[in-house]
Amino acid sequence: MCGIIGYNGYRNAQPVILDGLKRLEYRGYDSAGIGIINKKLQVHKQVGDISRLIDSIPSFTGTIGIGHTRWATHGKVTETNAHPQLNTSKTIAIVHNGIIDNFLELKNHLQQKGYVFQSQTDSEIIAHLIDEHYHKDFQDAILKTIRQLRGSYAIVAISQKDPDTIIAARNESPLVIGIGDNENLVASDIPALLKYTNRVIYLDDGEICILKKKSVTILDSAGTQKQKETHLVTWDVRDAEKAGYPHFMLKEIHEQPHALTQGLVGRISEINRTVSFHEKIERLLRKPIQKIHLIACGTSFYACYIGKYLFEQLTNIPVQIDLASEYRYFSPKQPDAFVIAVTQSGETLDTLGALRTAKKTGCQTLVITNVIGSTATRIANAYLLTQSGPEIGVAATKTFTSQILMLYLLALKIASNQQTISSDDLYHTLIELRELPREVRQILHQTEEIKTLAHNISNSTSLFYIGRGINYPLALEGALKIKEISYIHAEGFAAGELKHGPFALLSPETPVIAIATHDKIFDKMLANIGEIKAR
C-alpha cells in the first residue's frame, strides 16, 4: 500500500504535497519523494518517514507536482527505489501504487530498445514507457502506456514538456480527484485532499484524468471523454487530524459513540417503531428474500459473521458468510441470494471481485461501506453508509462497530417487513439501540483498567480469545487486532471447541480473554472458563 498525491493550482505545490503525504503516511512510510515542475523537473527522495523527507528537502518552487509515500513491494527500501520514478533524461516523473504483473516482459522490451534501469521497482518501466511513446502528446503517451500494462495501478505523472498538466490513471487501485477553485488535486485517499476541497470524483478502472489548474477531463482507455458525477464528501478536515490523541487508532476507538450515533441518525424511530433507509435500499428489502450471503475480508468479515447470528435470530432467513477472496472463485452460483458486501473502504479488490461475481450471477446486491462514491457503491444495486468518519488508523475499530450496527438495523428492518419481530419487541430494541453510544462511552471511561490489563499481557508470546454465539466472531476479531497491532500470536476460538485440540497449546503463561456476556449461554461460558482454569 502506497500513498499518492498530485497538485495543480495557484499555491506553492511543495507544502501542499508534503502536507498530503503526512496525511497519507498511514498507507506506508519506508521512503517518500516529491517531484515539482518549475520549467524544469525537480525531484527529492528520502528513505524513512515523511518527517525525514520534510527535514531534508530543499525549497522547490512551482505550482504543479506529485508526491508518494512508499511501502516497498518490488525492490529494497532505498532512495533509488523511492518514487517518483523517472525516465532516463529526467523529464518525466511518475508515482505508482500497485503491482505491474507483466513488468519483466516490458522491462526486457525496454532494455532491448536501450533503456537503462536505475531502480529495482516495477514502477520505473512506466516512466520509460511514457518516454517511449511521447512524441508530441503527453496524453497519447499515457494512453499507449496503460494499454500495455497488466496488473493493478494508480499512476500520477508529470512531464517537463507539458508543464501545466498532471495525468492520472487507474486500474484496481483507488484514485480520487479533488475539485477546487483554480486548483485541482488527485490522491489515493480522501484525507489528503480535505484541506482544499470536499468535492471529489472517483476514477474507475481503465480511466485516465487530465488535471489542469482550471479543468479536469476524464477519458476512457480509448481516449473518449466521459462525464462523471462529482460527490460531496461530508467529512471535515478535522476528522483527518489526531485531535490531541497520540495516534489515529486511539482517536478512532474513542470516536465510536459518535460514529454509532451518526449511524442511527434518521434511521430509527422509536415513536413510529420503524427502521428506515433511503428508497433504493427500501425497494431492495421489499422484495422476497430467500437467502442472504454476506461477503467481506478481514475485520469486515467478522462483522458479517456477527451479522449472520443477527439475521438468523431475527428473521429465520438462512445466511451464508464467505470470505470475499473465496467467494469470488468457489461460491456456487445462486441468483436468488441477496448479497450484502461489507467493506469499510469500498475498494478492497477481493470484495469488489466478489460483488461483480454476485451481480453477474444475477443476485441483488447491497454494500455496507464507509466511503461515499467508492468503487463498491458504484457496483452494488444499493449502498448503506456507515457514517463513521474517515478511518485513518488502518486497524479497523469504530468502522467495525458501525458495520455491526448497520447489519443489525438491516436485520431489524427485514424482520419487521416479514413480521418475525413484534412491534413491541422492535420498540424495546430501538430504545436500547438509542442507548448504545452512551453505553460504549461508559466502557471507554474504563481506560485505566484497560491499560492495566493490556500491560499485564503485553509480554505474552501467545494469547487466546474465546466466546460463544455472537461473541465467537468477536473473539476472532479480538485476536486479529492483537496480531495486527501487538505482533503477538493470538487465536480466537468458540469456547466449546478448546477441548477438541487447542487445549494442547495452553500453558500457564497463555492469557485467555473470555467474552462472557449475560446471554442464554452465560453458564456454559462460565463452565468453559472453569475448564481453562483447571488446566
Q: Give the nearest distance from C-beta 528 to ligand M6R in angstroms.
A: 26
Number of residues that bind ligand M6R (CB under 6 A): 13
| Residue among 184 and 348 whose Cβ is closer to ligand M6R | 348
262 is a contact residue toward ligand M6R (CB under 6 A): no
Helices then strands (H, E): number in the chain? 17, 25
The CA angle 375-376-377, to the nearest 5 degrees, is: 90
Site residues for ligand M6R, window 368-397 (CB under 6 A)?
394-396
298 is a contact residue toward ligand M6R (CB under 6 A): yes
Which of these, 409, 399, 430, lies nearest to 281 by C-alpha position? 409
Q: With CB under 6 A as the contact rule, which of the stretches 65-73, 84-92, 292-300, 354-362 interacts with ligand M6R?
A: 292-300
Site residues for ligand M6R, window 107-146 (CB under 6 A)?
none
Q: Which residue has the cell 532512495?
A: 79
User: How far apart are alpha carbons 73 and 75 in whole angstroms?
Assistant: 6
C-alpha distances (whole Å) from 100 to each of 24, 96, 172, 177, 354 are 22, 10, 11, 22, 22
Please say whether the beta carbons of 79 and 53 come within 8 A.
no
365 is a contact residue toward ligand M6R (CB under 6 A): no
User: Which residue has its beta carbon closest to ligand M6R?
Assistant: 298
Q: Which of 145, 171, 344, 416 binds ligand M6R (CB under 6 A)?
A: 344
What contacts 245, CB < 8 A, 6 or more positions away?
Answer: 251, 254
256 is a contact residue toward ligand M6R (CB under 6 A): no
Q: With CB under 6 A as the contact rule, which of the stretches 214-222, 338-346, 408-416, 521-529 interacts with ligand M6R?
A: 338-346
The H or E element that residue 167 is part of is: strand 162-171
C-alpha distances (whole Å) from 242 to each of 249, 252, 502 are 9, 9, 40
Site residues for ligand M6R, window 468-487 (CB under 6 A)?
484
| Residue among 204 and 531 whose Cβ is closer to ligand M6R | 204
Q: Which residue has the cell 460504549?
A: 440
300 is a contact residue toward ligand M6R (CB under 6 A): yes
The CA angle 402-405-411, to the nearest 5 degrees, is: 145
Q: Give the nearest distance from C-beta 152 to ligand M6R in angstroms.
A: 15
173 is a contact residue toward ligand M6R (CB under 6 A): no
Residues 392-421: x where in contact with ligand M6R by CB under 6 A, - otherwise, as a string:
--xxx-------------------------
Which of these, 479, 470, 468, 469, lies nearest to 525 by C-alpha position? 468
Q: Which of 345, 365, 375, 416 binds ligand M6R (CB under 6 A)?
A: 345
Helix axes 124-133, 103-112, angle to 10 degrees: 50
Q: Which of 31, 256, 343, 381 binds ligand M6R (CB under 6 A)?
A: 343
Q: Which of 46, 81, 91, 299 binds ligand M6R (CB under 6 A)?
A: 299
Residues 211-250: x where in contact with ligand M6R by CB under 6 A, - otherwise, as a string:
----------------------------------------
Give the SS3 label for residue 211. Answer: strand
351 is a contact residue toward ligand M6R (CB under 6 A): yes
Q: With CB under 6 A as the contact rule, which of the stretches 96-104, 166-174, 296-304, 417-425 interacts with ligand M6R?
A: 296-304
User: How far apart are alpha carbons 254 and 249 in whole angstroms?
Assistant: 9
* Contacts to ligand M6R by CB under 6 A: 297-300, 343-345, 348, 351, 394-396, 484
